Amino acid sequence: PKIMLPSESALQTISHYLTRLQAADSPLEKLEYLLAAIATIFNSVKTSQLSGSSRSLTLGADDFLPLFVWVLVKTNFVAAEIEAEYMWGLLHPSLLSGEGGYYLTTLSSAVHVLKNFKDSNEENNTKSHLKADSVLKVVVPDELHGSILTKTLPARPHMTTKEVCKIIAHKARITNPQDYALYRLVDGEETMLADNECPQDFMNEGKHVMLAYKRIDAKIAWPKQQQSN
């Protein structure tokens, strides 16, 4: 279904939160205003899309990111990069493992898209301007149902394996992330990535590479050719 853009009143509320974010001194306060702005986006889109229905709307990073980029342009949030770096530098690492880290990564990812934008006025083409390294697709085995799920994550430039694992653990609701690791998949063969490696480097090599996040002890019979869509 087509995603409806936030209303004018929702944009005013989002702009208010982003203004408060810039005025705040505490990185924790800034993060709270960022999350409030993002919650407003989700609530506005959900209301528009479902017309009063109680069903929830799920937006993956590949759907939410272009929407968020559009919002940043419409609200003229020119300090996005500075604010994101300020929060990354000063927030306690424990706050970057869950929702806070996920949406702060989304902000950095949106900044990356905007910096590589050719025609920011072409709002309808936002999605076509997303660079491959603005999002990461990671396959996650569902051992309970014997299936393989694909999760799409926001990505900031030069993210390490350790940072990606934090994001995917939050997205996949993994309660024992210490038992999981990120792997590179090439033609069904898996290689565990070290904490300080940059997964985006492998994705840009031009080979048929996939990323997989699984239990270290799990033996998965990967298909010989993973689909990249």
Q: What does pLDDT average to in each consecutive run of 10 residues of the chain (229 residues)?
A: 82 97 96 96 75 57 88 93 95 88 94 72 50 78 85 88 92 90 90 93 76 93 61
How many domains does one find in the chain? Answer: 2
pLDDT at 105: 94
pLDDT at 229: 42
Residues 81 and 121 in one domain: yes
Last residue within a domain, chosen from 108, 129, 150: 129
Residues 112 and 142 in one domain: no
CATH number of the domain enclosing 171? 3.10.20.90
Question: 77: which DSSP letter?
Answer: -
Last residue within a domain, chosen from 129, 146, 179: 129
Residue 1 lies in a domain: no
Residues 140 and 121 in one domain: no
- pTM of the prediction? 0.76
pLDDT at 58: 65
User: What residues contact 8, with CB distance under 8 A and at least 6 apart?
Assistant: none
Helix (H) or strand (E) holding 153: strand 147-154
Residue 225 lies in a domain: no
CATH number of the domain enclosing 44? 1.20.1050.80
Residue 3 lies in a domain: no
Cα–Cα separations (whole angstroms), residue 151 to 48, 59, 80, 147, 158: 25, 11, 25, 13, 19
pLDDT at 131: 53
Tokens 């869509």 sit at which residue? Answer: 229
Range of the domain at 185: 132-215
Residues 193 and 120 in one domain: no
Last residue within a domain, chosen from 95, 129, 163: 129
Cα–Cα separations (whole angstroms), residue 9 to 12, 53, 68, 75, 80: 5, 20, 16, 12, 21
pLDDT at 209: 85
